[in-house]
Chain A
Amino acid sequence: MFTTEMIQLFAVVLGKDSQRVTEALLHEGCMQFVRSTELEGLKDLSAVEPEVSLAKISDLRKRIEGFLHTAGFIPSTPEEIDLNNRVSVDIAKENNRLDEIAAERTSIRERQRTIQQEILKLEDIRRQIEFYGTNLSDVKLGAKHSLISLQIGTFPASNAKQLENALRDFLLLTIPLGNEGDMAHYLLISMKRDNQEIQKILTSVGWTQIEFPDNLQPVNKNVFSELSAKRKSFSDEQKKLESKADSLVKKEATQLEETWVNLRVNELFYKIQESFASSWRTVIFTGWLPLSKKERLTSEITKACGGRCYLEWNEAGSKDVFGNEVPVQFNNPKMFAPFQMLVSNFGIPKYGTIDPTPFVMPLYLAMFGLMFADVGQGLVLAGLGVLGMFLFKKKERKEGMYHLSWLIVWCGISSVLFGVLLGSFFGMSLFRPLWFDFHGIVSGHSQNDSMINDIYDILLITVYFGISVIALGLIFNWINIIRTSQWAELFLDKGGVIGGWIYAGGVYIASYVISHEYKGLPSGTILFLLVGLPSLLLFIKEPYHFLKRSDAYSDSKFGTVTILNFLMQWIVGLLEIFTGYVSNTLSFMRVAGFGIAHVCLMISFFTLAKMTSGIFSVIVLVLGNILVISLEGLTAGIQALRLSYYEFFTKFFHGTGKLYTPISLNSR
């Protein structure tokens, strides 16, 4: 119900022991440090200067990580052995090594780029031919907008190399058609605009143009196969270069990984030392850890510095603690993890207040189940959740998805349970419901043999449920206020005792009116005692804050305006309480609403299925179930979350806490 109890350590060790103590602290990995700048009263102490700049270590580690990622390696988190083998890293040398790899990789990329230009040239020619000159046999390349020039010619075969070299910079394709004696025959496809320049080169190699033969179909085929062949050869070369670039990192991967781990250990080590303050001979540090770790950490620090240390333990709330905030560690069993995710998504509970996770689980699942009660659909949902769990299991960066999958499994189980209670299997009434017949009531075929016989009864269940949730929220608020010793707030807060009194009174009056068929109210005295008196008592709130000189009144003087202000605040406060509690309670009726919508949708699909026959009716039912599972499942999940956040959490949960994030070898 409450988060882990924390304790603050204030430690003084000798400077000569600081390395070993830092290693012990990293080894234990349980301390969240208070930065040296926050150590009030110890401002004269200087920060501990790390041997190597933390920023440089961090940059280099990230750089290596980038290199490793490009080759598909994800470095693993350091282990204890890595801490024991920690050595300092020569940052300049490692950077040089990376620079060398980078330079080599850049030169490979440059070659790749050149080849890519050739590939693009070929693609340009292909595009041109496809657009404007698709049929060589018609020699349509001379069409108005064709940019391609085509010629066949012969020249001394000994000049072939010279020709290839001279034409390298042009966008063209040369296709050797064969040799006749010592003369080579070539087909040349180039851009028209280059004709003048190309002609000069052709003349220099002794080119003689030949007229096109009547049927050029074989040449046509040849052009495309030549284009494809050249394209393939370039692509192959490109792939080779790509894998060469990859292998540059791969062959260094082991060493890079080792360096990465060492850097990570050093980074964490210096991060701890960053929170140290030092005097001439001593080093001081302070931080929070769970109370349960106190004994072990004491022994480890004492061992690390041979007993030459002063350790002082201060409980949260003590006047001797440094820093304003106590970090919060959730203290829930693993099975609550998906619901803890929902809570932390809203905010982290303030230290010492209630962690709502264990209550969110039954409330969320009850609301979801009521909205989505179906054994068959619940099993499908649970199955999908299990699938998601397998997909995201042990994937470091997919932890959120893993928890979400778990949440879907839980929702599925809840649907199955409520499906059994309300008698629904894929929208069919295959078995007798244990609680009441939801489908029967909605479709008007109820047997009237249960306590719940019509839609109003269903709505009433959710209203009662809402009242219970709000009451629970108010009780939690009182517990939180008592634990933080805000005695005035306990009575005067909107969610305090007087607020609760008004709410309880309102619930009684509403039930009285309903039980008297909307024809009578409780007596005036009862009305006054239930609602009037607490409302009047709330008027004390603003004058009390004025006398206490709270923030809102820190500079104000007493006068007519102040009295008007008191009055205004009182009226607004009362309006907020009355409208707020009524709307909060009625908001829970949506649970019944969505439950009814779920049943209605299934009834609609069965009606549609009846209008068809055979395989079509099966298809309608299958598609209908898929739609209901995806649409209603999502809606029910969101609505249950909305009710938890806005009707329950807002009563007591402020979410202003700071999560406990100790520096350990597993830190991210």
Chain B
Amino acid sequence: MAGTLSKYSFINAKLRARISKILPDKVFSQLAKAPALDEAIAVLRETPFASLEGIYSETGDIKQAELEILKNEIDLYRNIREHLHKDSVGLVDALLHQFEIDNLKNAIRIFFAWKNEKQSIDTSLHYLLYDRIINDIPIDIIANADNFDEIAGVCEGTPYCQIIKKYSHTVESESSLFRMEIAFDHFYYNNLISSINELARRDRTIAIRLVGVEIDLQNINWIIRLKNFYNLPLDAVLATIVPGGFNLDRNVIDELYKTQNVAFILKGFVNSKYPELSALLSSQAPDSTSRLVLIRRMLQEIIKYEVQRILSGYPFTVGIILAYFILKRDELTKIRMILNAKQYGISRERVEGMI
């Protein structure tokens, strides 16, 4: 078995160099300040995202630029995968599933919108990924399918076939993709945790902690969504919760769901688990929108804290890979969010509040 130094010394140096190139907060505040989309994209000229300017000025279509970002992100995972020791490759493959699942979800949403609501789907079709990510999935056929049987048929041989078959009736009876999407998420995290279990002990501990925090965040996101839009009973909520969370046990989830003030419970959670972040809690959120923003920021800070913990700890672990992916995803999410906000003319103050 290879030692941690030989496994991670090269990738550690490579990723730390790449981390130094992640856009600093200053660039995001410049982006937020830009009065128009063209000007925001011009801010990215001197950054690794310079190619977006060319795409946007040629097409006028920010979604095309976003698609480019997504393709680059997938390439990034593949590129890093090439430099990894074989013991860590499975983890990156598991992480790559998230792109495939998101793409599949989007294709199914297009199909579902067309079937159920007769909404025009042509525009959305252009922004799907048609190239293979992990499995051979004919995205064209899924988006244009007649029914779920056809979708399940073309997904035969992939892990998604059974999920689609299992939940197609529920989706049709409830007229909502919610349960199927949750099942896809469960598959993603279960698969990720299985790949983590294959890692060496030290790597496993680090990865479980980081992915556990991610799962917590995902669960909190679901709880907020379920509470605000679906108002499901607690048992139904608990069925949707992804297992493997790091901090949120059943009691906290119970409390989070029952309370009228999710932010309040989250404050308690942050105070007990992350006292270093308690400064965050001083801000007051008068309305529900601001509360959601506050909650989102808390969650982001928690994950940032975990990433910093990894970066300042023992360097030769799988943690550096996960930390890089998280930082990179955060960077790309912010760019997408700001560019979209500029496209829709959202005010500078609101954009600044979101980043």
Contacts and interface: CB of A to CB of B under 8 A. Distances in A.
A160 to B, nearest CB: 22
Contacts of A111: 60
A193 B114 contact: yes
Nearest to A145: B141
A654 to B, nearest CB: 24
Interface in A299-354: none
A406 to B, nearest CB: 24
Interface stretch (A6-14, A99-107, A275-283, A557-565): A99-107
Given A128-B140, A131-B140, A59 B126 contact: no
Contacts of A124: 122, 125-126
B23 interface: no
A70 B42 contact: yes
A232 to B, nearest CB: 15
A106 B38 contact: yes
A105 B33 CA distance: 18
B35 interface: yes
Interface string A469-491: 00000000000000000000000
Given A102-B36, A124-B125, A191-B144, A116 B61 contact: yes
Contact of B45 (A69, A108, A109): A69
B140 A109 contact: no
A147 B60 contact: no
A127 B33 contact: no
Interface string B30-71: 100111111100110100000001001111110010000000
Given A108-B60, A113-B59, A147-B141, A171 B125 contact: yes
A106 B36 contact: yes
A235 to B, nearest CB: 9
- Size band of the A side of the interface? 35 or more
Contacts of A131: 140
A116 B38 contact: no
B315 interface: no
Interface stretch (A214-222, A237-245, A453-461): A237-245
B123 interface: yes
A179 to B, nearest CB: 30
Interface in A60-89: 62-63, 66-67, 69-70
Given A171-B125, A193-B114, A106 B37 contact: yes
Interface in A113-168: 113, 115-117, 120-121, 123-124, 127-128, 131, 145, 147
Contacts of B141: 145, 147
Interface string A172-214: 0000000000000000000111000000000000000000000
A121 B60 contact: no
B57 A66 contact: no
A61 B287 CA distance: 37
Contact of B138 (A102, A105, A145, A246): A145
B39 A67 contact: yes
Interface residues of B, number: 32
B144 A70 contact: no
Most chain-B CB neighbours within 10 Å: which of A124, A145, A192, A241? Answer: A145
Contacts of A169: 120, 122
Nearest to B36: A102
Nearest to A241: B60
Contacts of B140: 127-128, 131, 147
B36 A120 contact: no
Contacts of A171: 122, 125
A170 interface: yes
B59 to A, nearest CB: 4
A213 B173 CA distance: 45
A374 to B, nearest CB: 30
A105 B38 contact: yes
A102 B58 contact: no
Contacts of B264: none
A110 interface: yes
B154 interface: yes
A100 to B, nearest CB: 11
Interface of B: 30, 33-39, 42-43, 45, 53, 56-61, 64, 114, 120, 122-123, 125-126, 130, 138, 140-141, 144, 146, 154
User: Which 4 pairs, one residue from A and one from B, show the smallest C-beta to C-beta distance?
Assistant: A112-B60, A109-B60, A120-B126, A66-B42
10 contacts: A63-B34, A66-B42, A69-B42, A102-B39, A105-B36, A106-B37, A106-B38, A113-B59, A147-B140, A147-B144
Interface of A: 59, 62-63, 66-67, 69-70, 98-99, 102, 105-106, 108-113, 115-117, 120-121, 123-124, 127-128, 131, 145, 147, 169-171, 191-193, 238, 241-242, 245-246
Given A117-B122, A191-B144, 19 more contacts: A59-B33, A67-B39, A69-B45, A70-B38, A99-B35, A102-B39, A109-B60, A112-B60, A113-B60, A120-B126, A121-B126, A124-B122, A127-B130, A147-B140, A169-B122, A193-B114, A193-B144, A238-B58, A245-B38
